[in-house]
Structure 1
Amino acid sequence: MSFSIAVSGASGYAGGEVLRLLAGHPDVEIGAVTAHSSAGERLGTLQPHLVPLADRLISDTTAENLVGHDVVVLALPHGASGALAAQLGEDTLVIDAAADHRLESSHAWESFYGSAHQGTWPYGLPELPGQRELLVGARRIAVAGCYPTTVLLGLAPAFAAGLVEPEDVVVVAATGTSGAGRATKPHLLGSEVMGGMSPYGVGGVHRHTPEIEQGLSRASGEQVRVSFTPTLAPMPRGILATSTARLAPGASAQSLREAYAAQYDDERFVHLLPEGQWPTTKQVVGSNHLMLQLAVDERAGRLVVCSAADNLTKGTAGGAVQSMNLALGLPEAAGLGQLGVSP
């Protein structure tokens, strides 16, 4: 059986990445590709790498152009998904790649996003404890954010096993420029970015902070507070997160490694690297894989986890396709066989 799928935001980085993965999916048929300002243009003009889809005309992103598909992926700016999703029937699987339906707390949403909360959907990060079962048969899915994907998969096993403390969690993560979307921004010009790194969203104001705290609190069973500082790196895609947390009494390097192995040894896309090997963004470019490594800083009494993922693939489009497969009863890895690119 083939499922028809429409992709909104097809002219952007996230929408283009969704289409790249779907073009190799054995069980879907790509239907409408939509956007707003680029409606009427050939998809190949904006996404020339999507050769099989290059002659498709981009339609306007309206409910009328999206209805009638088995699956609709909304790769839209934050705040734009809720009203559109409300016009799509409950028999349609709607996958929101934006943040509109990720948070459980309306207060957190309103504080960080400044608009009315649109409700909470099942969270599209299957490797989190207990999450995969919630996605099977779901009709609405909120794909995890790129930073939260990389940080949560890096820290969740330690919290779930009670091996770290919920206070004093610190995350510093670097991402490529594609994380800011495709719109032209002066500070993202090549001449501004190349050859240097810069922080942004400093002081606990980045919008992914409450999503990270929500996921770690679920894993821990108690409230977790996170100090999160993102940085911009001179690369087009990828995230490298360094996450640290204070060790709980009795925790050791051995018990932590055993907890991570128990969580991830049977996972297809999350990999605890052999001791002494550290993740790099280069290992995961273009793939749905996440690499991680851990160490214990005995002097500081802290767990240190380094995790690397492609922000557009595992951090967005890959998470969408993986969650879609679970919701539709397809093999979870369908359409996600791409490995990283080297050099």
Structure 2
Amino acid sequence: MIKAGIIGSTGYAGQELVRILLQHGEVEIKWYGSRSYIDKKYYDVFRNMFQIVDAKCMDDNMDELASQVDVIFTATPQGLCGNLVNEEILSKVKIIDLSADFRIKDLETYEKWYGIKHGSPQFIDEAVYGLCEINREKIKGARLIANPGCYPTCSTLSIYPLAKEGLIDMNTVIIDAKSGTSGAGRGAKVNNLYCEVNENIKAYGVATHRHTPEIEEQLSYASGQEVKLNFTPHLVPMNRGILITAYANLTREVTYEEVRAIYDSYYKEETFVRVLDQDQTPETRWVEGSNYVDVNFKLDPRTNRVIMMGAMDNLVKGAAGQAVQNMNLLFGFPETKGLMQVPMFP
């Protein structure tokens, strides 16, 4: 049994972490951190936890927390983990950061896109990007994990095999993405009110969304070349889910069977990446509440392009589920431990 602490346990991703860890069987949650609800019963914040969690919310004192637990999850806004972490803390405890503080290796790029000064740039190179299907072996020996963003997870996993194999022209990649409103967090914002979101869909962060450099960096590693792409997210009126549709020119003529074999070679041993049957398109409803990512592709000989598609739950594989998957690798548990929830429907 390992002991875990969560800083930011009352956000949507933090609550999802609690829900998953309570069903893990090998983890005891010792610290429900929440700056907004200190001393308030956790079940008074989330009534689904009534008679399940009796603990009170605590502060974000990482120094004290590091002496009490084996792993700390930081489900917090950008900047907090970077300002709290130090060498003494990392010598005592593993940290899985769900913010963007350690995802991007170039400091100048991080500070430009996120508009804040990094609090501990000395740990950026050490941090391991926690996309388990790609960096599994590096994750196992890490002290500090940068849990990937939701859009980058779905985008990278959908595009990665063809980028890695050189089958797509990386200068032509365009990603169209859609997300449910939980991706915007639990804070009170006018743009996220029911009347603003219901019966509406809109693009946002056009050409400026801060997940863009994260996606570009990961696809640059995959393809072995610098990648610049167009990424346009959209807000849709549903609670959970991400759908990405990515387009790129092919570098040569290929058949369906050839491309399918490539996807299978990368993902046939991956429990949480499901390559769908021919002509089936990923749908958010078939992954909701789960750690699965459904991916597929469609060749378009008329335009010499391939359309790559992916769907997942932004709060599970896009945040809390992936964080637990990383924790399992860090502590030698089966990677799927606590994560085999069947997708919910309806």
Q: Which residue number corresponds to residue 66 of structure 1?
A: 65
Provide runs of 4+ in structure 1 moved above 4 Å. Answer: none
* Alignment match, 2:2: 3
1:153 aligns with one of 145, 152, 157: 157
Query: What is the deviation of 1:46?
Result: 1.3
Alignment-derived partner of residue 148 in structure 2 = 144
Alignment of 1:1-343 (within 5 A): 2-51=1-50, 53-68=52-67, 69-86=69-86, 88-117=89-118, 118=121, 119-120=124-125, 121-128=127-134, 131-202=135-206, 204-343=207-346
Q: Hey, what's the Cα distance between the residues in 2 that align with 1:122 and 1:194? A: 38
Please report how far the alpha carbon of residue 168 of structure 1 lies from its aligned counterpart in structure 2 after TM superposition. Answer: 1.3
In 2 relative to 1, CA 88–165 (structure 1 residues): closer, same or farther, beyond 3 Å?
A: same
Native 8 Å contact 2:132 2:326 kept in 1: yes
Q: 1:146, 1:17 → 2: CA distance?
A: 14
Give the aligned residue type for 2:131: L
CA RMSD of aligned residues (A): 1.2
Q: Return the alpha-carbon distance in structure 1 between the equivalents of residues 12 and 229 of structure 2.
A: 28
The two structures have a TM-score, normalised by structure 1, of: 0.96
Q: Secondary structure at the match of 1:259?
A: helix
Aligned equivalents of 1:89 and 1:263: distance in 2? 33
SS at the partner of 1:88?
helix
Contact 2:90 2:143 in 1 (8 A): no
CA distance in 1, matches of 2:179, 2:42: 27
Shift of 1:198: 0.6
Kindly state the Cα deviation for residue 54 of structure 1 after the two structures are TM-superposed.
3.2
How many angstroms does 1:65 deviate by? 4.0
Say which structure is richer in helix: 2
Q: Return the letter of the residue paired with 1:123.
A: Y
| Structure 1: gaps spanning 5 or more residues | none
- Percent identity over the alignment? 39
Asked whether the 8 Å contact 2:63–2:89 carries over to 1, the reply is: no
- Measure how far apart 1:62 and its partner are: 1.1
Secondary structure of 2:239's counterpart equals coil
**Whole-Å separation in 1 of the counterparts to 2:49 and 2:254:** 48
CA drift of 1:330 comes to 1.0
| Distance in 1, Cα, partners of 2:250 & 2:91 | 45
